[in-house]
């Protein structure tokens, strides 16, 4: 908000719309609601998304944690299919569940690949030593034990509908379905590799605070006030490899 020409009341309304809407709100809809230019709405949204990214970076999952491999984007015409597709951005989806089997917190993080060494890097940032990770049989997920103390339970599920409905992955599959519907219903398109981490953080931020919507607005305002300014030129820098 610092040194912007936008009145604070516009910022506050933008924060309200981003936190209290049932689904996420696009920059185009922000433009309409706030009566500003698209560039102004886009800049506001991405500044606030960056706040969410930084706020959720420290999120550590513990106890039982379901994880799965997922992608933003899809194959290009004539392109390679599957995990090697050049138009797919890989990310790890993880859900912490409580003793009753209910979802508590999630993490959605872009990764370079699903190779063991990249999953190991993710695990050291995302998992507490007390975590017991439940995954499918993907070889790379063995990297979670790179975080000292973490236990790993691998379940070979195969492919297709049977894998998607496996009871051990109920909540991570449900969450991924909700994420895909949210992105498809809110955004026509965005640069997956460049801005994907912010849109994943938005879903994560809202999900992890879903039980107290009333506090989400003041908490975002507080976090924004503590976050260092991020100018437009930085907002537009690619996040690939970061």
**What's the maximum distance between 2 C-alpha atoms anywhere in the chain?**
55
Using one digit for the tens of pLDDT, what is the confidence trace for 45-88? 999 999 999 999 999 999 999 999 999 975 433 445 455 555 68
Using one digit for the tens of pLDDT, what is the confidence trace for 145-194? 989 999 999 988 766 565 666 778 899 999 999 999 999 888 877 788 88
pLDDT band with cut points at 50, 70 and 90 for residue 241: very low
Give the pLDDT confidence score for residue 159 in this predicted structure.
64
Whole-angstrom distance between the N-terminal and C-terminal Cα of the chain?
24
Angstrom distance (rounded) from CA 217 to CA 17: 9
Give the pLDDT confidence score for residue 164 in this predicted structure.
63
Give the pLDDT confidence score for residue 235 in this predicted structure.
80
C-beta neighbour count of 71 within 10 angstroms: 18
pTM, 2 dp: 0.86
Q: Is the distance from CB of 167 to CB of 101 less than 8 angstroms?
A: no
């Amino acid at each position: 908000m610092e040194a912007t020409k936008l009145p604070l009341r516009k910022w506050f309304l933008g924060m309200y719309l981003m936190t209290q809407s049932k689904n996420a709100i696009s920059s185009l809809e922000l433009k309409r609601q706030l009566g500003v230019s698209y560039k102004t709405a886009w800049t506001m949204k991405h500044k606030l998304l960056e706040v969410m990214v930084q706020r959720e970076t420290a999120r550590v999952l513990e106890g039982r944690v379901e994880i799965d491999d997922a992608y933003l984007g899809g194959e290009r015409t004539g392109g390679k299919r599957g995990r090697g597709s050049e138009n797919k951005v890989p990310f790890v989806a993880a859900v912490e569940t409580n003793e009753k089997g209910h979802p508590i917190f999630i993490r959605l993080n872009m990764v370079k690949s699903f190779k063991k060494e990249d999953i190991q890097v993710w695990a050291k940032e995302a998992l507490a030593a007390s975590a017991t990770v439940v995954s499918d049989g993907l070889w790379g997920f063995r990297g979670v034990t790179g975080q000292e103390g973490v236990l790993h339970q691998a379940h070979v599920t195969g492919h297709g509908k049977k894998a998607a409905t496996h009871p051990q992955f109920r909540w991570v599959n449900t969450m991924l379905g909700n994420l895909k519907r949210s992105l498809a219903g809110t955004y026509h398109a965005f640069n997956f590799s460049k801005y994907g981490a912010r849109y994943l953080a938005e879903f994560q931020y809202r999900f992890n605070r879903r039980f107290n919507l009333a506090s989400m607005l003041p908490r975002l305002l507080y976090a924004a006030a503590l976050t260092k300014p991020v100018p437009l030129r930085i907002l537009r820098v690619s996040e690939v490899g970061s």
